[in-house]
A and B are shown apart, each in its own frame.
Chain A
Amino acid sequence: MSIFESLTLAFKNIVSSKTRTLLTMLGIIIGVAAVIVIVGLGNGLEGYITESFSSMGTNTLTASVSARGSTRTLSVDDMYDIVEENSGYLDLCSPTVNMMGSVKIGSETSRTSVTGVSEDYFSIKNYTLSKGRGIQYSDIALRAKTCVVGAYVDMAYYGGSAVGETLRVGGQSLTIVGVIEQQSEELEEGGSDDCLFLPYSTAARLSGGVSSYTVTVRDESLIAEGKAALENALEDFFGSDSFYTVTSMSEMLETMTGMISILVAVLAGIAAISLVVGGIGIMNIMLVSVTERTREIGIRKSLGAKERYIMEQFVIEAAATSALGGVIGILLGYALSAVASKVVAGLMETALTVAPTVGAVGTAFGISVGIGILFGYLPAKKAAVLNPIDALHYD
């Protein structure tokens, strides 16, 4: 008797009790689908974060200085000197002053992000101007009351003719001198085009000082060396390492993706519990089935079925049931992933594709077959060792 014959027999039995088989498979279906969706979601999230970080520039370092308690204060010029001294690694530098508070445009209030920057900031970020001019050194030196706005502000509040208009930030009236070319695919509130840049000197006066710098390294591969050089210089300056922190975008990206991986692994692990529960369900049903089919087993044995054949029949039936559940779970997982992509896109106003990986699908299928064999073994063993005389007289 070949494996093929055992398989045919198993599928005949599965087909002959559809409702029961479906209910038996439910645990496996849910488990496999959940694992696939969670891993796909994690994948999509990782892709999304990697993309957003790389658009921010993976060759940039951010230095935050908190001079509180220090005997020395780091001026903007001190920072420029440090960058100059380490020009082997470091390239451009811009103070960044993040300002809280709202922007008043006419009678409207917007939640546009406001940042004080230097003339180099636009090169650091690879921003190009679609209209007017950028922030210039003279603006910074003169603490000019000028600003550059993102494409969203231009379109949403001025209908595309923002240059020359004025708005108010923190009570200070600023003249718009330029508009940055559209960054993201869609203009939306709170998006990367809903922004405003002003000279850091102007911003520092409004908000109280410069505490953060964006510095680029000459090459992405020099990010670690550049970071070390900047840290050393700042430590020399303060005589301690407790007044500053230097972070690199690529480092943050690594930390974030690492955290997501752990999160996904934990969630997938929890979902996998359902697979075990499903396996126990299969075992339970197979045990019932062995009892129900005691007479059949007796007949087969009296006709010359060896223990191995009976065993094979039940293990293959369990494995086929859970494998079928695995396949349905995979299909359901793909369907749910597609739905999740749409839902997430709707909620987050960004495109995030939930992409199931081939590895996750393969693993889920393999595990479900394995579970069938594992949990089918005990009932199969029970069937195989039945005494044919007792089994024949079982009602």
Chain B
Amino acid sequence: MNLTLKIWRQKNNADKGDFKEYKISDISKDMSFLEMLDVLNENLSEKGEDPVHFDHDCREGICGMCSLYIDGKPHGPQQTTTCQLHMRSFSDGDVITIEPWRAKPFPVMKDLVVDRSAFDRIIQAGGYVSVNTGGVPDANEIPIPKSIADLAMDAAQCIGCGACVAACKNASAMLFTSAKVSQLALLPQGQVERKIRAEKMVAQMDAEGFGACTNTGACEAECPKGISITNIARMNREYFSAVVSSDTL
């Protein structure tokens, strides 16, 4: 395949940034999207030009490090992570536009690399069960219905990539935040801090500058792990019941 790539290049956070066009040839359909970019970078490096910087690590679709807005969609045309997107999803002669995540709480650091530490701060606000190491009950002491454990697992699969934020026109982090709130609200271990968790995580999400939910479901449609927006409904319920009967009052 021969392709034309329009890639966002930005030297650093202070730079304004712009699209640059690159031609690339002899791309095999079996390559992953990131391997195609590796080829581009190897070509650029051989010519002494600065390679395109993008985040990636496990290349197995689980670490959540890769991002990329490809032809106007987070992680591109398939509902997977960019590292699991393969070139068989494209055709010879295609023009592919590649941008970083666009959201104010995710500032661009260089080219396609953004800073997602806002997500870490949301988890730090309450995305945990406050147990220290040691002194916990036997793992089988509290039976959990399989259906509940499965629902919690569905929510817990979030990889924290930020596609939900990038997909949302309000740059809302509701899907990300609600996935963690749901997981812990569903499980018996999460009950003790259930209310304060919802309050604190929502407050942090707002403080980071993420927008309100649009109710359009773009996040769910683009989530590479298929996290459901029913988690958002659950978080809203958790949050409202928490604020009217807060443990901190």
Partners in one complex: no
